[in-house]
Amino acid sequence: MADVIVEHGRVVGTTGARKRTGLHNALRRKSMVAFFLTLPLIVLIALFVLYPALFSMHLATLNKSMQKFVGFGNFTFLFKRETFWMVVKQSCIFAITAVIFKALIGFIVAHFVHNIPAKGQRKWRGMLLVPWVIPPAMSTLAWLWLFDPSYSAFNYTLSFFGVGPIPWLGDAAWARFSVILVNVWYGSPFFMIMYLAALKSVPDQLYEAAAIDGANWWQKIWYVTLPMMRNIIAITTLFSLIVTFANFDIVRILTSGGPLDQTQIFATYAFRVGIESNDIPLGASVSLFMVPILAVAAIFILRDVSKRGNEA
């Protein structure tokens, strides 16, 4: 369809000189059309991603009252703060642990679902996606009630077995466990659905060939399934790592970073410093600190993906 329009445009607007390089022009015009088609998205990204990103970079270079340029002053200040390094450590623990468990659970569940007969599979897929489709602010509120300091439904149930009460959100270790648990619960369906799609694209012949060669189920996974899913695993992991690093709602609702800041991660700490303590430039600096960490992860993971793509 685009070609027709382009062709039409070319005929209408061409000059003698342009006719000689018609193909070249057509290509150029095709890219023009493509550009215009993507323009709304480009504008949206510029408006809601690029501008805020640049503005936060600008903010990060200002002093607390936002009247003076301080260059990297906010970052050098943060590097000297004990709490900030605790936040860096906790963000890494939170994101890496959550992503590993999400990937693991997603992978296992995807296999289970893949092995369900096609007739009932859709039902299971739908049910397993529920945590992912509920807005996290809402589902986390339900978790908050389950973990409630005084009226935890979990503790009530555990009390029948003589266990507890467990300070789910009042003790640092339990609080870290709780926020990671909720993040894993929320994010696993995404991995499950991605892995399921990848599993479905693995040709059955490969498994048949492996079976003929005498491969057991573990060898099939190790030598057939995993190599075939490598790219999707890498991309899903990267995507999830970015989203988990930048998580805000789950931690904010469950613990607000407490107790003693021991569940504070980049986004919640940035909010605490920037909005609640009214130090917007420092808050912007905290949130920007995620960028180099994620950039390094992205470079490593994507480089591997493109390498394998070239091999293929």
Partner 1 sequence: MSRKKLTRRQFVAATAMSSAALITAPYVRGAYAAGKLSIGFWDHWVPGANDSSRALVNEWAAKEKVEVSIDYITSNNKKIELTVAAEAQAKSGHDILQMYTWWPHAYAEQLEPVNDVVEPAIKQNGEVNGTVKYLGQAAGKWLAVPATPGSQIKGPCSRIDLMKKHAGIDVTELYPVGGPPKADSWNMDTFLKAAEACQKAGFAFGIGLGETTDSVDTAGAIFQSFGAELVNAKGDLTVKTDQVRQALEYYKKLIAFLPPDAPSWDDASNNKWLISGRGALIMNPPSAWAVAKRDAPQVAEQCWTHGFPAGPKGRFAPYLPYYWGLWSFSKNKEAAKSLLTYLSQSSSIEKFVAASGGYDLPAYANMTTLKTWAEEGPPKGTLYHYPNPYNHQTLSIAASPAPPKIAQQIYAQATLTKMALRFAQGEKMETALAWAEGECEGFMRS
For residue 164, the minimal CB distance to partner 1 (Å) is 11
Nearer to partner 1, 64 or 230 (CB): 64
| Sequential DSSP letters for 239-289 | HHHHHHHT--HHHHHHTTT-STTTT--HHHHHHIIIIISS-HHHHHHHHHT
167 binds partner 1 (CB under 8 A): yes
What are residue 144's phi and psi, to 5 degrees? -60, -40
Sites for partner 1 among residues 70-129 (CB under 8 A) = 77, 81-83
Does the protein bind partner 1 through residue 185 (CB under 8 A)?
no
Helix or strand (DSSP H, E) at 190: helix 172-200
Residue from 47, 104, 197, 275 that binds partner 1 (CB under 8 A)?
A: 275
Of 198 and 282, CB closest to partner 1: 282
Minimum distance, C-beta of residue 160 to partner 1, in the bound complex (Å): 19
The CA R_g of the chain, rounded to the nearest whole Å, is: 25
Closest alpha carbon to 273 in 249, 86, 281: 281
- What is the nearest approach in angstroms of partner 1 to the Cβ of residue 92? 22
| Contact characters 243-262, partner 1, x per CB under 8 A | ---------x--xxxxxxx-
Q: Give the three-class secondary structure for 168.
A: coil
Residue 264 CB, shortest distance to partner 1, in Å, is 10
- In the complex, least distance from residue 66 CB atom to partner 1, rounded to whole angstroms: 9
Q: What type of residue sits at position 25?
A: N
The structure tokens listed for 121 are: 């599979």
Q: How far out from the chain centre does Cα 132 lie? A: 12
Separation in Å, CA 308 to CA 80, 170, 221, 229, 231: 41, 46, 19, 11, 8
Cβ-contact 286, 77 below 8 angstroms: no
- Least distance (Å) between residue 198 CB and partner 1: 38
Stretch that binds partner 1, among 38-46, 92-100, 161-169, 212-220 (CB under 8 A): 161-169
Asked if 14 touches partner 1 (CB under 8 A), the answer is no
What is the binding site for partner 1 (CB under 8 A)? 63-65, 77, 81-83, 149-151, 165, 167-171, 175, 252, 255-261, 271-272, 275-280, 282
